[in-house]
A and B are shown apart, each in its own frame.
Chain A
Amino acid sequence: MKNKAVYFFLLPGIIFLVIFALLPMIQIFYFSLIDYTLIGSRSYNAFGNYIKLFGDERFWHVFLNSFLYLAVTPLLIIVSLLLALLLRENKKISIILRSVYFLPVVTPLVIAGIIWRWIFAEDTGLMNYLLSIINISNIPWLSSFPENMISLFIVTIWRGAGYYMMIFLAGLAVLPKEIEEAAEIDGAGYISKVFYIIIPQLKYVISLVFVVSAASAIKIFTELYVMIPGAPMDNKTIVYYLFSEAFEKFDFGVSSAAGVILFLITLGFSIANIKLMEHQK
Chain B
Amino acid sequence: MKKKLGSIKYLFLILFSIVAVFPFLWLLSTSFKGAEEVFLFPPKLFPSKINTDNYIGIVNAIPLWRYFFNTLFVVISTIGVNVLIASLTGFALARFNFKFKNIFFMIILASMLVPKEIIVIPLYRTVLSLGLVDTLFGVVLPFAAEGFAIFMMRQAFLSIPKDIEEAAIIDGANLFNLWFKVLLPITKPTLATLVIFTFIGTWGDFIWPLIILKSSENFTLQVGLSYMLGTFVNNYRYVAAGSVIALIPVIVVFFSMQKYFIKGIITGSGK
A176 proximal to B (CB < 8 A) = no
CA distance A96 to B88 in the complex (A): 37
**Contacts A/B (CB < 8 Å), 15 sampled:** A2-B98, A10-B92, A20-B145, A28-B121, A83-B16, A86-B13, A102-B254, A103-B254, A118-B236, A163-B265, A190-B2, A212-B270, A225-B206, A226-B229, A267-B113
* Contact (Cβ within 8 A) A170 B266: yes
Q: Mark A230-268, 1 if CB is under 8 A from B, else 0.
A: 000000000100110011000010011001001100110
A25 to chain B: closest residue by CB? B114
B27 proximal to A (CB < 8 A) = yes
Known: A13-B85, A212-B269. A129 touches B150 (CB 8 A): no
Query: What bracket does the count of chain A residues touching chain B fall in?
Result: 35 or more
* Contact (Cβ within 8 A) B123 A20: yes
A261 to chain B: closest residue by CB? B118
B108 proximal to A (CB < 8 A) = yes
* Contact (Cβ within 8 A) A99 B258: yes
* Contact (Cβ within 8 A) B86 A22: no
A-facing residues in B97-117 (Cβ within 8 Å):
97-98, 104, 107-108, 110-115, 117
Chain A nearest Cβ from B132, distance in angstroms: 12
B61 proximal to A (CB < 8 A) = no
* Contact (Cβ within 8 A) A246 B265: no
Known: A82-B12, A259-B118, A262-B118. A103 touches B270 (CB 8 A): no
CA distance A270 to B118 in the complex (A): 15
Q: Mark B1-45, 1 if CB is under 8 A from A, else 0.
A: 110010001001100110111011011001000000011011100
Q: 13 more A-B contacts (CB under 8 A) besides A21-B111, A21-B147, A126-B26?
A: A2-B97, A9-B92, A13-B89, A24-B119, A31-B121, A106-B251, A108-B247, A109-B222, A111-B225, A112-B23, A118-B26, A158-B23, A266-B118
Chain A nearest Cβ from B27, distance in angstroms: 5
Chain A residues, Cβ within 8 Å of B207 = 221-222, 239, 243
- State the main secondary structure of chain B at its contact with A: helix
B258 to chain A: closest residue by CB? A99
CA distance A130 to B84 in the complex (A): 51
* Contact (Cβ within 8 A) B118 A86: no
Chain A nearest Cβ from B240, distance in angstroms: 8
B175 proximal to A (CB < 8 A) = yes
CA distance A14 to B145 in the complex (A): 9
Interface centre among B16, B38, B229, B271 (most CB of A within 10 A): B16
A110 to chain B: closest residue by CB? B222
A8 to chain B: closest residue by CB? B88
B-facing residues in A104-159 (Cβ within 8 Å):
104, 106-112, 114-119, 123-126, 129, 158
A65 proximal to B (CB < 8 A) = no
* Contact (Cβ within 8 A) B114 A9: no
A273 proximal to B (CB < 8 A) = yes
Known: A20-B145, A123-B41. A5 touches B175 (CB 8 A): yes
Chain A nearest Cβ from B48, distance in angstroms: 17
B interface size (C-beta, 8 A): 92
B-facing residues in A1-53 (Cβ within 8 Å):
1-3, 5-10, 12-14, 16-25, 27-28, 31
B182 proximal to A (CB < 8 A) = no
* Contact (Cβ within 8 A) B118 A25: yes
B205 to chain A: closest residue by CB? A108
B142 proximal to A (CB < 8 A) = yes
Chain B residues, Cβ within 8 Å of A16 = 85, 144-145
A4 to chain B: closest residue by CB? B98
B206 to chain A: closest residue by CB? A222
On A, residues with C-beta under 8 Å from B are 1-3, 5-10, 12-14, 16-25, 27-28, 31, 82-83, 86-87, 97, 99-104, 106-112, 114-119, 123-126, 129, 158, 162-163, 166-167, 170, 189-190, 208, 212, 219, 221-222, 225-226, 229, 239, 242-243, 246-247, 252, 255-256, 259, 262-263, 266-267, 270, 273-274, 277
B120 proximal to A (CB < 8 A) = yes
Q: Mark B233-270, 1 if CB is under 8 A from A, else 0.
A: 00010011001001100110111001001100110011
Chain A nearest Cβ from B64, distance in angstroms: 14
CA distance A239 to B208 in the complex (A): 13
B59 proximal to A (CB < 8 A) = no
Chain A nearest Cβ from B156, distance in angstroms: 14
CA distance A106 to B2 in the complex (A): 35
B51 proximal to A (CB < 8 A) = no
B90 to chain A: closest residue by CB? A13
The residue that A106 contacts in the complex, of B121, B143, B200, with Cβ under 8 A, is B200
Chain A nearest Cβ from B94, distance in angstroms: 10
Interface centre among B96, B110, B121, B206 (most CB of A within 10 A): B121
Chain B residues, Cβ within 8 Å of A115 = 23-24, 26-27, 243
Chain B nearest Cβ from A257, distance in angstroms: 11
Chain B residues, Cβ within 8 Å of A259 = 118-119, 121
Chain A nearest Cβ from B36, distance in angstroms: 13
Chain B nearest Cβ from A88, distance in angstroms: 11
